[in-house]
Amino acid sequence: MVAAAIETIAEEGYPRASFSRIARRAGLSSTGLISYHFAGKADLMSEVTQDILGRFAEHVLAQSDDGSPAGELRTFIRANLEFMSAHRLDMLALARIQAHQPIAGQAEVDGEPPVTVVAQDQRRLAEVLRRGQDTGQFRPFDPQVVAGFILALRNHVIEQSADPAADMTAIGTELESTVSAMITITGER
């Protein structure tokens, strides 16, 4: 059911991912079961997010890295790219769910805000960047802001992967070198 939701979002787009379309793809003949298992659409999306994120975390944890900020960053990017190529639909669905999350603080009165993966990622990434600045490897910049930039680029690359014609290895390589150029100290400037 979660899998069907992922497929639907990735292949038909978030706005078209209605319960009926998801049910049809899941081989169900009624949307009733989805409503029975999940508290609502937001809950289903949250579950989908958790599911993808869980598998993503596993993959990232399996990566070795030399512990240096530059290494960690490279590992992060590479893990993203690898997972992306292995689980294109998952990443695409994830990115789209995030992109369509209702604007913060709006229509959210009823309790906990939706899972914002980006915020977590961004905090962790910013921490790595800050360490890289402390060791003098990285040029001076606002770690929070640049972390946001890097994630924006990653999401852009994910979105590109929706187009089957896109040369993902080329784009991936470019992402690596671009991020590297973005943060390392340049000769001139």
Partner DNA sequence: AATGAATGAGTGTTCATTCAT
Partner DNA sequence: AATGAATGAACACTCATTCAT
User: Contact residues for a second copy (CB under 8 A)?
Assistant: 12-13, 15-16, 99-100, 102-104, 106-107, 139, 141-142, 145-146, 148-149, 152-153, 155-156, 160, 162-163, 170-171, 174-175, 177-178, 180-189
- Contacted by 139, from DNA, a second copy, none: CB < 5 to 8 Å by type: a second copy
Contact call for residues 136 and 69 (beta carbons, < 8 A): no
Q: Which helix (H) or strand (E) holds 153?
A: helix 143-160
CB of residue 6 vs a second copy: minimum separation in angstroms?
Answer: 15
Q: Which of 98, 100, 104 is nearest to 118 (CA)?
A: 98
DSSP β-bridge partners for residue 184: 138
Q: How far is residue 121's CA from residue 102's CA, in Å, rounded to a whole number?
A: 19
- Contacted by 142, from a second copy, DNA, none: CB < 5 to 8 Å by type: a second copy
Site for DNA in 41-60 (CB under 7 A): 41-42
Looking at the Cβ atoms of 100 and 123, the one nearer to DNA is 100
- Tell me which of 3, 7, 10, 36 binds DNA, using CB under 7 A: 36
Pull the structure tokens for residue 81: 């790219």
Kindly list the distances between the CA atom of residue 7 and the CA atoms of 4, 14, 52, in Å, as whole numbers in the listed order: 5, 10, 12
Footprint of DNA (CB under 7 A): 16-21, 28-38, 40-42
